[in-house]
Structure 1
């Protein structure tokens, strides 16, 4: 579904699955549930996310489109499955790639917003 002038008309929150217990530059995560992953990969719009890490910890996140060169992925603070606290942080998104019915996000450097 193409982006409207007020944002997507899709569901409020989307699942993002990450193959690690935390984010870092180069980490890849899979965004699921978009009705038109090709359109989103080509021209992402702001959405709310539930980020699920490999240790089954789920935390709130959001994708923001700002005046930076790249979209920003902001993740709430959480505690890993092993009990380690992880501060909330914002990350630039290096790349969006459609992979079937998902969009793979490649995490870039920290965003100092």
Structure 2
């Protein structure tokens, strides 16, 4: 009788120790801007941040040893999803003034005239 109780208690302990974990993996909330068009000499202001210039950058690949130039059309600028105001200036003149609604995990292209 004691053996049966011992076996049942060990079996009960074994079954209750096993658990099932359930969860959801959610990607981080972020969206991206990509500037296309005539980006030379363009200054960009996103919301109320400071202006920055769209310019090409030099990128080196350590695996192949090559150096390549990356244009702003190949760059993605990360922002939080939601409403953002984009202003683009050329030679001190405002050429683009848009309000964008960015979705999560999306890339929005902004054309620079």
TM-score, structure 2 length as denominator? 0.26
Q: Which has the higher contact order (CA 8 A, sep 6+)?
A: 2
Higher helix share: 2
The structure with the largest alpha-carbon Rg is 2
